[in-house]
């Protein structure tokens, strides 16, 4: 038995992690597999994996962004929309465009990728005077509140629950009325999901 066949460090189909050539071949084959799945079979999951391959393994961020964007716009894959949004927000390997980033987050949310709902909500409830705020479109807190609600109720995201609840502690003009019962309900949800802020608010309301 060869050392490659007998190695306990193998991954995949007998890949020996101690053998540089073996690992290189395995990685290249992964790229071929993902490209075929994406471009030939038009499989959204393969396209997203291809984006991850360019990003994490090849460190080719331009190709990664283009792959995520394609998979979002053409194949409606929510996680890829979320990734493309991040690239556009920070201008990583592409032109910085806060409004396009928001549109990708919004689409990701509509496709039920709930981390995108949280991100879209954060942008829609941000202060436009913040020097890190890159959108030409002004924030829309009322819409942002709905993004937080969806990230909480459908995605079980602790931060989404906490941010949603916080709006109802004091209320906000033209957005929502003060409603401590509602705030308590969602603060408790946030706490149970692991949000320290949610637990703090629950504790204060109990007192």
Domain presence at residue 97: no
Domain presence at residue 24: no
d(CA 186, CA 156) in angstroms, rounded, equals 11
d(CA 49, CA 145) in angstroms, rounded, equals 32
pLDDT in tens, 102-119: 999 999 999 999 999 999
Instruction: Specify the number of domains making up the chain.
Output: 1
pLDDT at 20: 76
- For 185, the domain range is 158-207
DSSP string, 132-179: T---SSPP-HHHHHHHHHHHHHTT--HHHHHHHHHHHHH-BTTTB---
Domain presence at residue 58: no
pLDDT in tens, 153-194: 999 999 999 999 999 999 999 999 999 999 999 999 999 999
pLDDT at 193: 98
Neighbouring residues of 98: CB distance < 8 A, sequence distance ≥ 6: 88, 89, 123, 133, 134, 135, 136
Domain presence at residue 204: yes
Neighbouring residues of 68: CB distance < 8 A, sequence distance ≥ 6: 48, 51, 80, 81, 83, 84, 87
> Does pLDDT of 2 surpass 60?
no
> Does pLDDT of 66 surpass 70?
yes
Domain presence at residue 118: no
Whether the CB-CB separation of 86 and 69 falls below 8 Å is answered with: no
pLDDT class for 1, splitting at 50, 70, 90? very low
pTM: 0.88
DSSP 11: E
> Of the candidates 144, 204, 117, 142, which has an alpha carbon nearest to the alpha carbon of residue 183?
204
pLDDT class for 132, splitting at 50, 70, 90? confident
């Amino acid at each position: 038995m060869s050392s490659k066949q007998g190695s306990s460090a193998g991954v995949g189909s007998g890949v020996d992690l101690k053998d540089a050539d073996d690992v290189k071949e395995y990685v290249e084959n992964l790229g071929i597999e993902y490209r075929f799945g994406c471009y030939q079979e038009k499989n959204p999951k393969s396209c997203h994996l291809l984006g991850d391959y360019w990003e994490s393994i090849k460190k080719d961020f331009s190709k990664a962004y283009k792959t995520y964007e394609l998979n979002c716009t053409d194949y409606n894959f929510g996680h890829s929309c979320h990734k493309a949004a991040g690239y556009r927000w920070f201008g990583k390997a592409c032109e910085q465009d806060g409004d396009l980033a928001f549109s990708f987050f919004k689409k990701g949310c509509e496709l039920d990728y709930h981390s995108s709902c949280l991100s879209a909500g954060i942008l829609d409830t941000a202060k436009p005077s913040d020097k890190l705020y890159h959108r030409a479109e002004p924030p829309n807190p009322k819409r942002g509140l709905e993004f937080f609600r969806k990230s909480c109720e459908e995605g079980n995201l602790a931060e989404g629950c906490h941010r949603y609840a916080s709006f109802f502690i004091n209320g906000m003009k033209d957005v929502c009325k003060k409603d401590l019962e509602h705030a308590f309900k969602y603060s408790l949800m946030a706490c149970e999901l692991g949000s320290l802020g949610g637990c703090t608010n629950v504790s204060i309301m109990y007192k």
